Amino acid sequence: PFQVVGGKVKKPGKRGRKPAKIDLKAKLERSRQSARECRARKKLRYQYLEELVSSRERAICALREELEMYKQWCMAMDQGKIPSEIKALLTGEEQSKAQQNSTKLAKAGKTEANSSNP
């Protein structure tokens, strides 16, 4: 039972190319190489994920310590005590503001001196 399609005789069965006669040893070697590469990629992926997890865990620990420090500060302030770290921050901000103001005044003085010269 042959079919005639477009003037060509077609045999029933599989369509497409006939499988080329591939050397079995070469095919097995390619398969082994592909498996080796797959295992290497998997190993790298797991190493990357483990590093990512450990870095996230370190970040979590650091944030927990920071949170605990802030809790201690709040408890101290509730008792009417100002932690030395906060005092240092406040005095540091006041000093930096004073420095900025003095810098602005010095710059303003220079511009006034320059504009008064003919």
> Which DSSP string do the residues of the chain spell out, in sequence order?
--EEETTEEE-SS--SPPPP---HHHHHHHHHHHHHHHHHHHHHHHHHHHHHHHHHHHHHHHHHHHHHHHHHHHHHHHTT---HHHHHHHHHHHHHHHHHHHHHHHHHHHHHHHHH--
Per the prediction, the chain carries an average pLDDT of 82
Size (the chain), residues: 118
Where in the chain are the domains? 24-91
Give pLDDT tens digits for 59-106.
Answer: 999 999 999 999 999 999 999 888 888 888 888 877 777 777 777 666
Residues in a beta bridge with 9: 4
pTM of the full structure: 0.50
Burial 66-91 (b: 16+ CB within 10 A, else e): eeeeeeeeeeeeeeeeebeeeeeeee
